[in-house]
Amino acid sequence: MENNEEKNTYTVKLLVVTERPVFPGGITTLVVSRAEEIKLIENLGKGGIFGILMAKERDSFDNCIMDSTLPPEFYEVGTLCSINRFIHLPNGSLHVFVTTMRTFTVHSVDTLLSPYEAVVEDRNTEYESMRPIVPYMRLLRKILSELVTQSPLFSFASEVNIANITDAENLVNYTASCLTAPKEFLQQVLAQQNLIARYEKVLTYLESEKDLVIMQNQIRSDLIDNVKRRNQEQVLKQQISTLQQELDKITGKGGSAGAFSPRGMDIAELADKYDKIKDLLPPIYIETVDKEMSRMNSMDPSSPDYTLTKTYIDTILSLPYSKKNQKVKYTIENVREKLDKDHYGLKDVKDRILEFLASRTLSRSQSGAIICLVGPPGVGKTSIGRSIASALGRKYYRFSMGGVRDEAEIKGHRRTYVGALPGKFIQALLETKEVDPVILIDEIDKMGSSFQGDPASALLEALDPEQNSRFRDLYLDLPYDLSKVLFIVTANTLETVPEPLLDRMEVIEVSGYTSQEKLNIAKGYLIPRLIKNNGLEKRNISLSDDALLSIAEEYSREAGVRNYEKNLDKIFRKLSLEILEKKSDGNLLIEKKDVEKYLSIPRFDLSEKIEAEEAGTAIGLAWTSMGGDVLLIEAEALLSHEEFKITGQLGDVMKESCNIALSTVKKEAALRGIDPAYFRHHMIHLHVPEGATPKDGPSAGITMTCALWGMITEQVIKKDLAMTGELTLTGHVMPIGGLKEKVLAAKRNHIKEIIIPQKNKRDLEMLDEDVKKDITFHLVSDISEVLALSFPSDRTRRLTESELEKAQENWEKENQKNG
């Protein structure tokens, strides 16, 4: 240990700990296992001085031991120790007994030495003489004496141990060293120079531990009482059973369930329930309940089968059953009013729902009600289902199919399995206690299948109007009528929904919102709700239209309003904090310039857009489960004899579209007099950027064709033009889906013109004028029309037959000349 008297510092060897710090003023033991530290202890010997310092992270320190290039991180305060003696253990480690002397502050650590060496300076404990320390010592002893009797964790604080410590600093250090607190807290106590503040830290922790110990003891006491009560009940039931058997022998009624036996009480309870609904039960249910109750009457109550039978009968009797002359609980006007109140816009969706309900009202039919709402996340599919249930005056039950791989989730388990339960539909009826609830099946496009069965196949029976009047749950093993249930199904995409299942549903598309629609939703629905949720009703807070539009376009670019609502909620939470911190009086108008203050830098730059500025590029429009998107497709020709290359993590359908696009371009090139040898001497590479994102679907066919055509003719496609359409091998342009989402994505990218298939004309006419505003649409049916619109300056044209024959002769001569 080397001293520097001028700076009051000295150098000391370090022993690093990772679990908890060591406190001064006592004797403690250490187990040293690292070779360099064992050597340090042996070299220092009895009376040797070294420092103990704690590393901040155990994992990172272990990594530094393995790799010397990684600098470890230490806390700034450690403890100086003196070796009393040490013992060699059989495993090669050292058991070291040390006296902990005082704390020090670390100025620097030389991690290149082994073991580490530090330049340190002694720390002095600060004490305010105006505040007596004795009350703190008495309070500490009092709390510890209470905890000793309540928890074995504080056995260290026995009266003998505490009474022997008279020094104030040693008392608090000893207490802290014995606590099972986090190492960060213990390091804070060690680093606290002010003695009063150190006492306050330890006392605060002990008070919280005292409350926790009291709570744990209460829980333990309650558990013991419950166990005793159950044991007493079991003993009493056994005594009653024995007395009943004796009574049966005397009265000659052996084998029957006495009124006072557990079996008799259970059967009496079920029989009472049975009598109340027997008139509503179908004959097969009555037959099954009678048979099961007869079996139960002959069973031993302690038998596992007894409990299973009782639960089975109770499940049957707890189900709701149809009542005669049920009246319609709603009017079309009420449903419309409720939907308008809960959801902005969505006129087409609301009309489809109202038409659906109106036809059922006039026909007095309650069957065939399966609605499928499909659209991107956050557009209100689930909340529409809840609103429909509320408007119809029915109970509402929701379950998600996301990740479901077992058909037993739908149709239940057979009663032969331990822990068997009915499926989701029967559970819904047991919970709602109505025969005609609204059951919302969420995320149906995300279910899977496994060796345990296919949930989609299990859904077919329940969602088929022709079959669900006799739905058979495997647990009940009885036909149950689900025809009066209104099923509402939601999905982000229909691509993963099996066709037979899709065929049984009325599909209603819920499209994304424009920025103006999001603004109106925020003003009419989101802001009033968020103001209430954040307790700001009595404040005069409002956001300008420019601010709301800025949040929609620069912070939450999406088809729905989920992230839009999160950003608004973030603003209101920060306003709540400002009010509590008295930084604001709560009367505030938030303008566009204020948005960045609450939401930081915008996530999306409105000035940025995807552009096709080079030959061989084209802009396509895509429709995903998250809404519309804009894709830049790139094509490049390289001198090579390799085959056609496709990159960008494309699905099988999109790869087929690439091959069709290349075949179409080859055919069109030949018709326009371009030598086919170009394709033999060049390797064509087609790429769709954002390679980490999977892509699939046929609607990029014409976009790929334009990219390839621009590449071979060395032309740049028309500025601010995007397109979408499936291409056939004969050059016809086929219709696509998700037109609204694609148009909204194009508007966000400042596209001025869009090419769409002629067969999507009806879909285009159904779009709101606000969606179509500022965009010119071109309807096409053939690839030649697409190329004419995309390359207005293209000088190539289709040759006549004679011109083609002459061109072919020239190609053959050129090929022969070139070998």
Known binding positions for ATP: 375-382
3-state SS, 315-366, equals HHHHCCCCCCCCCCCCCHHHHHHHHHHHCCCCHHHHHHHHHHHHHHHHHCCC
Binding site as annotated, residues: 375-382
Specify whether the CB–CB gap between 625 and 559 falls below 8 A.
no
Rounded to 10 deg, the angle between the 195-251 and 262-277 helix axes is: 90
Long-range contacts from 581-586, C-beta under 8 angstroms, 24+ separation: 586/536, 586/538, 586/539, 586/540, 586/541
Closest CA to 33 of 53, 15, 51, 59: 15
How many whole angstroms separate alpha carbon 80 and alpha carbon 44? 14
How many whole angstroms separate alpha carbon 54 and alpha carbon 666? 72
Catalytic status, residue 556 = no
Give 701-736 as a DSSP string.
HHHHHHHHHHHHHT-PPPTTEEE--EE-TTSBEEP-
Specify whether the CB–CB gap between 508 and 372 falls below 8 A.
yes
How many whole angstroms separate alpha carbon 413 and alpha carbon 404? 15
What is the CA 681 to chain-centroid distance, rounded? Answer: 50
Which residue among 387, 390, 657, 699 is the active-site one?
Answer: 699
Closest CA to 113 of 168, 206, 39, 56: 39
Specify whether the CB–CB gap between 760 and 737 falls below 8 A.
no
Q: Which residue has the tokens 């779009």?
A: 767
Torsion of CA 364, 369, 375, 378, to 10 degrees: 80
Closest CA to 392 of 444, 426, 436, 346: 436
**For the stretch 46-62, what's the b/e string if a residue is b when 16 or more beta carbons lie within 10 angstroms of its beta carbon?**
eebebbbbbbeeeeebe
What is the CA 799 to chain-centroid distance, rounded? Answer: 58
Residue 14 in 3-state DSSP?
strand
Please report, for residues 17, 162, 398, 716, the alpha-carbon distance to residue 42 in angstroms, rounded to integers and kept in the order given.
18, 34, 70, 80
How many whole angstroms separate alpha carbon 632 and alpha carbon 244? 84
How many whole angstroms separate alpha carbon 48 and alpha carbon 98? 10
Considering just the CA atoms, what is the radius of gyration of the chain in Å?
A: 39
Which residue among 310, 424, 742, 747 is the active-site one?
Answer: 742
What is the CA 796 to chain-centroid distance, rounded? Answer: 53
Instruction: Count other C-beta atoms under 10 Å from residue 345's C-beta.
Output: 19
Q: Where are the beta strands (DSSP E) in 492-566?
A: 506-509, 541-543
Which residues share a beta bridge with 490? 373
How many whole angstroms separate alpha carbon 78 and alpha carbon 74? 9
Residues 6+ apart with CB under 8 A from 359: none
Helix (H) or strand (E) holding 83: strand 77-88
User: Does the N-terminal peptide bond of residue 698 adopt cis geometry, omega within 30 degrees of 0?
Assistant: no
Catalytic status, residue 350 = no
How many whole angstroms separate alpha carbon 749 and alpha carbon 723? 13
Instruction: Count other C-beta atoms under 10 Å from residue 258's C-beta.
Output: 18
Token pair, residue 243, equals 């007395």
**For the stretch 83-101, what's the b/e string if a residue is b when 16 or more beta carbons lie within 10 angstroms of its beta carbon?**
beebeeeeeebbebebebb
How many whole angstroms separate alpha carbon 556 and alpha carbon 93? 59
| Catalytic residue set | 699, 742
